[in-house]
Amino acid sequence: MRRHPLILKKESSVLLIVDLQERILPVIRDIETVLENTVKLIKGFKAIQLPIYFTEQYPKGLGATSQRILDELGGYSAINKMSFSCSGAENLFEEFYKKKLFQIIVCGVESHVCVQQTVLDLLANNFQVNLTADAISSRKETDYKIALQRMRTLGAQVTTTESVLFELLEVCGTPEFKEVSKIVK
């Protein structure tokens, strides 16, 4: 039986966390939900042993990544960027190609700026983008909604944190399934 080609596969999936930095977070709509769901994604990706990358936009001005996120990431290092899009974050896209990571799960802020430009550039470079709608946000609801609609229209797969994690698990009854089930509760 065939499975849909857009279903996430462990061997080709990666989590990309965009710019969840301390100085911008206080003005972001529903930031607690975004942080909570990002933590779930991190824990889930670690449980399934999948790669995680995170970026910081102009850290000199916007500060470091949220301590809550850094605590979950442990030994991971931020990829700094000055461009809004993560296409300008060192050789990130090239690294995805080299590691055959073509299904990019994206979360972060702001939906209509860095997230949207990253998503559009990923799509332009033939990556499949799975956008976690419950783990992205903007300052204004209108910006969030329009950006989500635009990214979906241009080819991003809009999904949720829990959908991503269970799609990657594929089956129940494994130790990873039990761990992820605890994470999403």
Active site residues: 19, 81, 114
Q: If 0-12 CB within 10 Å is exposed, 13-18 middle and 19+ buried, where does residue 32 land?
A: exposed
184 contact partners, CB below 8 Å, separation of at least 6: 40, 44, 161, 162, 165
The pair of structure tokens assigned to 59 is 């850290």
C-beta separation of 16 from 95 below 8 A: no
* Exposure string over 59-94, b if 16+ CB within 10 A, otherwise e: beeeeebbebbeebbeebebbebeebbbbbbeebbe
DSSP summary character for residue 112: I
- Closest Cα partner for 90 from 98, 99, 82? 82
The Cα 124–Cα 136 span in angstroms is 21
